Structure 1
Amino acid sequence: MSDKNRNKLPSNLPQLQNLIKRDPGSYKDEFMQQYRHYESNLQIFHLQPSTYTKTLDELVLFIAQVSQCYPEEVSDFPQHLQDLLRRHATVLDKTMRMTFCKALILLRNKSLIPATGVLELFFELFRCQDKLLRKTLYSYIVSDIKNVNFKHKNAKLNTTLQNFMYTMLKDNNVIAAKMSLSVMIELYRRNIWNDTKTVNVIATACFSKVTKILVTAMKFFLGHEEGEKAAESDSEDEVDKKKEKSRKTSKELILGNRVAKKTKKRQKKLERALQAMKKFKKKHKSESFNFSALHLLHDPQDFSEKLLKQLEATNERFEVKLMMIDFISRLIGIHGLFLLNFYPFVQRFLQPHQREVTRLLLYVAQASHDLVPPDVLESAIKVIANNFITDRNSGEVMAVGLNAVREISARCPLALSEDLLRDFVQYKTHKDKAVMMAARALIALYRRVNPELLHKRDRGKPTESTEELQTLHYGDRKTRQAVPGAEILSGEVELGEGETEKAEISKEWESCSEDEDDDEDDWIDVHHSSDEEQTEDPVAGLSLEEKRQKAEDVSTNRILTQEDFRQIQHHQARKTTESSSKGKGKRKHVEVDLDENSDRLMLSTIENVHKKRAHDKESRLATVMAGREGREKFTHGPQKMNPNASTTNKEKARGKNFMMVKHKLGRKKGKRSFRDKQMALTKALLRRQKKN
């Protein structure tokens, strides 16, 4: 037998690995020979750990691949690798270090070693100056913890790792602390570690002296990374739209391939193009994250006070300070905190020339709630009025200031005094449309909140909602004993299959029409209305007390469904448009779309200046095409009643070549001379005389 065909198992590790996996018992001696070879090379490697040894590299991966076949023989193998990485992690050759980590990953995937020791070791390896290694370990740590908690939460492992990572966040190595924080944030985003302990461990990083760690932790709470991903995806979409214009559709590709000559090369090219098109469509699926971590903080009051103290003493750049102001304002608004030193601190930056001043106005509005003392917010409103809402500024600056005042007043109506409000209302007739619309929006707000502060001419027509409005003082809470607007519902309660119980809602409500006029001799005026009007407002003739009683009975005697809440929502919206005075007509009803996320303040509400933006060509063309939908096509001249009818010779001549019809153009009736007209007139007169 030649040397080429002879089986060289001792030196051919891939072949031996394949044979061992097929029949472990028959090749145990060969494996033990290689394992002893590994031990001898390991002893030599301890003498010079910084050198690269190819033999040891191959033997480590070989043993890790077949370790499940001989678990007792390789029981010391994982400990060898862990000790080697702990002692010489920073001085090891990067290729050898990656090999040892890959071997441990293989052993962990085969459940030959526990997760706790390996993951803690990998966290410590974040200190190594090896970017590829850190990226590999980061991906594996996240995926391994996800797999461990796949079926059910492993509380013991999670607690151990969270305590270890809490110490890693305080590590002197900045890279290791940053990577540990990134792992916790990624696990929270994937809903693996979404408990309060994880959130509060991440919150400790907000007080780090390292700017990168501080910014990463605050971005997690503020959800900025989602916005950044959206911005990146928007920029990528613009590039992809340009590519998509030149990209053929799948239908065009299939038709083109059908017409051309059929060959195997063209068929493979078509399959690759269709596969690439599928990948292109899958690439742009948007990811959604749930950032509810602000609600899971243990002591938000103490946390915000420490953060404000850090903000006042920090020397970070302005962008970091702006992020900290945003974080504190969200904490104040969400949890209803008392942090009175925050408002004077932000007032120093409320100048029209200040960079990112609209964001600062947004943060003041975010930090407003009804428990803040009105005099504190009134000083902030006065600063905005003096610096923004003055005639020396441009219309856009004044509109931004009025919008900011409106958002602050929406969260704390008592912050705006009657004198200031009436001064702002005077801008409702301003020549600048942006200022005028901002002032009218402020009037509309106080019509719903506290119309008594407005002048009588600005209160508008009284509606049902204004009658039910209760003016609250500082510290008062609006408590309800029933669902507002539940009086619109009937008193039926579903009990089972087809069984219903009709509850008596109120005897006064049923007999209200009987008590109006007891005199039988008088005529009774009956209001005839259609069934549609009756179903729209079945409680139109009830007093406020009766409506309140009926709402309480309905709320306590039946379970409300989603359809019931939708009906209540439309009824409450109708109250804002219908007049409360009897004998007068209704206002024009406008459907009010109540947004579920209306409590979340967006920057567009401050920067909304009600000016017509300049449209590009694509947006203008889109509006033109949208206006043409559902409309007959415009044509020139009279059209045939039957589009399938034949054409006249005159119409056919229009489509012919000029040389074909030019000889007919000269055949026109010329003008008659005076003599011809005279003779024709003579003949006509003679003809008429003969007839008579």
Structure 2
Amino acid sequence: MNKLPNNLPQLQNLIKRDPLSYQDEFLQQYRHYESNLQIFQLKPSTYSKTLEELVLFVAQVAPCYPEEAAPFPEHLRDLLTHHGDALDRSMRMTFCKALILLRNKNMVQANSILELFFKLFRCQDKLLRKTLYTYIVTDIKNVNMKHKNAKLNSTLQGFMYTMMKDNNPVAAKMSLDVMIELYRRNIWNDAKTVNVIATGCFSKVTKILVAALKFFLGHEDGEKDESDSEEDEPPKTEKSLRLSHRVGKHTKKRQKKLDRALQALKKHKKKKKTAEVFNNSALHLLHDPQDMCEKLFSQLEKTTERFEVKLMMMDLASRLIGIHQLSVMNFYPFVQRFLQPHQREVTKILLFAAQSSHELVPPDVIEGVLRTISNNFITDRNAGEVMAVGMNAVKEICARCPLAMSTDLLGDLVQYKSHKDKGVMMSARALLQLYRKVNPDLLNRKDKGRPTEAMAETEPLVYGGQVAKDFIPGAEILPEEAEPKEEKEKNDWESCSDESDEEGEWIDVHHSSDEEAKEDEPQISKEERLKKAQTVSSNRILTAEEFEQIQKRQALKEVEGRHGKRKREGGQEEEGGGLLTLSTIENVHKKRAHDKESRLSTVMAGREGREKFGKNHEKMNPHASSTNKDKRRNKAFMMIKHKVQRKKIKRSFRDKQIALRNSLLKRQKAKR
């Protein structure tokens, strides 16, 4: 009557409650497992339900009998190692789940089981790969939760480096995805991980290449599967959804379905508009960015990949050059070949040209790029948007390499400041404002504008020269010795009370630092100003309020003349060197087109105060009921289909006479 040998779930429950009492039953089942395992090893490609149940049973209760079940993990590892590809899918998944259970109960070392799971990525089993991928990421996260396990991480990273070079592209791609996911979760965010991922940028497998490039360019999820992309992209547009809803019977169920589809479409559009997040921290962790950029550019010149992949390689190379200020002189003539208005994705290529510009590039190299953009884009034969995009690209390149611009070219481009197109005009004025700030000597006298204090303090640019100051610019507005706060407040209060007693009314109190900035600053020369700024910077510790005063004074220098005259304030130009986005190049100032709501509001506003347009369909008798013709308008088409078909039949001459007579009689009655 004992049913325990055949009822494994019940036996499992009893063993977990009282292991000592059921040790004999466990040993009986374990011997049964070993005999079935020997039979299974003779033909490992078959499916054995009995062995599957026994493996899961032993994996659940093995922690209760660690000595008796000690060989069990080794049996599973040997099966998966030697017969991984030949095993049945269900049996292989069962063995992996059993090992995961044992690992969760600390009966298996992490390095041995994780290396085995990485090798199982070679199996042609998508569900297994997905399961192992999730478990590997979770297990490594749990291991490094309290403190970094440096030994395990180093071992696995070295193993992954070999897996990246595996002959099986699926296994190499999954290993790369694991490393990218661990970096994204800040588990493996060290230089070794980044440099192992960087080896994927030179893979001959397109999927691995694209995933590694997207990691450095900000697309952290890598390349999605085709099934995922089909789910993300809605099959229809809003117009097609509404048109399909018009046909058929209008019910609440169909309306709810339409609302859900429109909501999904709106969510998809919002997802597309989200800003990109760039892994610039990963680019800074590269061991040898110069060597990587040269190899990447060499691969770019020889590659036969599709154009989108070439753009990604070009993007990464330009970002490496700009961030690390590398010298890859062949990159600029290569980009120069694509700078044509009709070129596909030309705005991105203009962005790459700007990203790769920096102050250490020889000016004559960048000057060729500027000439090409000016000749191909900034000409009157092109549209205004094309000219504005070219001007924006020139401005961003010059912000990073101001010496690349020549006097003649700058004079020609600045003349577009009065162009009839607003986008071209605004872009030209932005370029003019840039050179008024960084190098006003290149501008003509009429284009320099009114001289400001900032222009007077501007030092001439020299190629390769670094401007290193030993003082805080603008510190000359502060006193050489710090005045105690209590004494300063006391002096302000005494001056306020004295003046209020004399005049008998409230007055405006001005801060002492403001008075010094207004009175002392214009009177001292440039040399005295620099000397005072050096003294203040070296002898004092400045407070946050004093730094705020310095910033305000420095901003005032941009719009204040040399003799204290105020210049008209304009928009502040951003300095070069920051991370560029595509919107910076495509920033074309133009009047936006009206959307549907604004057009309707304009139309309705124009209709106010006038009679209704169109024929007045008033009834002869306002109290009369609706006619059959009016009722027919609201009927379904299938109800009046036979009448419409009858009307399409050609009428005889006699029918036309009768219809004409009836209409004439009706008009005579109406006149009476």
Place the TM-score, normalised by the shorter chain, in its bin.
Answer: 0.7 to 0.9
For residue 84 of structure 2, the aligned residue among 70, 82, 89 is: 89
Q: In the alignment, is residue 135 of structure 1 matched against residue 135 of structure 2?
A: no
- The one-letter code sitting in structure 2 at the alignment partner of 1:422 is G
- The one-letter code sitting in structure 2 at the alignment partner of 1:124 is K
1:63-74 alignment to 2 at 5 Å? 63-74=58-69
Give yes or no for contact 1:169–1:180 (8 Å, CA) kept in 2. Answer: yes
- The one-letter code sitting in structure 1 at the alignment partner of 2:144 is N
Q: 1:593 to 1:461 in 2, by over 3 A?
A: closer
Q: 1:45 to 1:313 in 2, by over 3 A?
A: same
For residue 587 of structure 1, the aligned residue among 567, 571, 575 is: 567
Cα offset, 1:239, TM superposition: 11
Report the 3-state secondary structure (helix = DSSP H, G, I; strand = E; otherwise coil) of the residue aligned with 1:202: helix
Q: In the alignment, is residue 113 of structure 1 matched against residue 72 of structure 2?
A: no
Q: What do residues 207-255 of structure 1 show as CA deviations (whole Å, max 9, x unaligned)? A: 11111111111111111347999x999989x999xxxxxxxxxxxxxxx
The percentage of aligned residue pairs carrying the same residue is 68
Mean Cα displacement is larger for which, 531-540 or 486-495? Answer: 486-495
Q: In the alignment, is residue 77 of structure 1 matched against residue 72 of structure 2?
A: yes
Cα offset, 1:311, TM superposition: 0.8
- The one-letter code sitting in structure 1 at the alignment partner of 2:456 is E
Match for residue 576 of structure 1? 558
For residue 208 of structure 1, the aligned residue among 203, 215, 234 is: 203
Q: What do residues 142-197 of structure 1 show as CA deviations (whole Å, max 9, x unaligned)? A: 11111111111111111100110000000000000000001011111111111111
1:50-65 alignment to 2 at 5 Å? 50-65=45-60
Match for residue 405 of structure 1? 394
Cα offset, 1:554, TM superposition: 3.8
Give yes or no for contact 1:425–1:439 (8 Å, CA) kept in 2. Answer: yes
1:519-598 alignment to 2 at 5 Å? 531=510, 535=514, 537=517, 540-541=521-522, 542-559=524-541, 565-582=547-564, 584=565, 586-588=566-568
Cα offset, 1:309, TM superposition: 0.8
For residue 593 of structure 2, the aligned residue among 614, 623, 629 is: 614
Report the 3-state secondary structure (helix = DSSP H, G, I; strand = E; otherwise coil) of the residue aligned with 1:614: coil
Cα offset, 1:99, TM superposition: 0.6
TM-score (norm 1): 0.73
Counterpart-to-counterpart distance in 1, 2:381 and 2:349: 21
Cα offset, 1:549, TM superposition: 3.1
Match for residue 102 of structure 1? 97
Q: In the alignment, is residue 391 of structure 1 matched against residue 373 of structure 2?
A: no
Give yes or no for contact 1:574–1:589 (8 Å, CA) kept in 2. Answer: no
Q: What do residues 116-138 of structure 1 show as CA deviations (whole Å, max 9, x unaligned)? A: 00000000000011111101100
Counterpart-to-counterpart distance in 1, 2:439 and 2:340: 29
Counterpart-to-counterpart distance in 2, 1:340 and 1:106: 56
Cα offset, 1:571, TM superposition: 3.0
Counterpart-to-counterpart distance in 1, 2:113 and 2:544: 50
1:170-185 alignment to 2 at 5 Å? 170-185=165-180
Match for residue 336 of structure 2? 347
For residue 329 of structure 1, the aligned residue among 318, 341, 353 is: 318
Counterpart-to-counterpart distance in 2, 1:138 and 1:492: 64
Report the 3-state secondary structure (helix = DSSP H, G, I; strand = E; otherwise coil) of the residue aligned with 1:224: coil
Match for residue 297 of structure 1? 286
Cα offset, 1:607, TM superposition: 1.0
For residue 298 of structure 2, the aligned residue among 304, 309, 313 is: 309
Task: Tell me the number of residue pairs that the alignment of Structure 1 and Structure 2 aligns.
Answer: 547
Q: In the alignment, is residue 599 of structure 1 matched against residue 581 of structure 2?
A: no
Give yes or no for contact 1:492–1:500 (8 Å, CA) kept in 2. Answer: no
Cα offset, 1:82, TM superposition: 0.4
Q: 1:109 to 1:454 in 2, by over 3 A?
A: same
Counterpart-to-counterpart distance in 1, 2:545 and 2:131: 51
Q: Note the residue ranges of structure 2 that are not aligned, 5 or more in a row.
A: 239-266, 489-506, 602-672
Match for residue 474 of structure 1? 463
Q: In the alignment, is residue 318 of structure 1 matched against residue 300 of structure 2?
A: no
**RMSD of the alignment, in Å?**
3.5
Report the 3-state secondary structure (helix = DSSP H, G, I; strand = E; otherwise coil) of the residue aligned with 2:521: coil
Cα offset, 1:392, TM superposition: 1.3
Counterpart-to-counterpart distance in 2, 1:533 and 1:493: 12
Q: 1:156 to 1:565 in 2, by over 3 A?
A: farther
1:486-501 alignment to 2 at 5 Å? 486-489=475-478
Q: Note the residue ranges of structure 1 that are not aligned, 5 or more in a row.
A: 1-5, 241-279, 502-527, 623-692
Q: In the alignment, is residue 16 of structure 1 matched against residue 5 of structure 2?
A: no
For residue 424 of structure 2, the aligned residue among 435, 450, 458 is: 435
Q: 1:10 to 1:118 in 2, by over 3 A?
A: same
Give yes or no for contact 1:573–1:591 (8 Å, CA) kept in 2. Answer: no
Report the 3-state secondary structure (helix = DSSP H, G, I; strand = E; otherwise coil) of the residue aligned with 1:52: coil
Q: 1:430 to 1:134 in 2, by over 3 A?
A: same
Q: In the alignment, is residue 220 of structure 1 matched against residue 220 of structure 2?
A: no
Report the 3-state secondary structure (helix = DSSP H, G, I; strand = E; otherwise coil) of the residue aligned with 1:467: helix
TM-score (norm 2): 0.75
Q: 1:232 to 1:426 in 2, by over 3 A?
A: farther
Q: In the alignment, is residue 187 of structure 1 matched against residue 157 of structure 2?
A: no
Give yes or no for contact 1:226–1:289 (8 Å, CA) kept in 2. Answer: no
Q: 1:590 to 1:563 in 2, by over 3 A?
A: farther
Cα offset, 1:474, TM superposition: 1.0
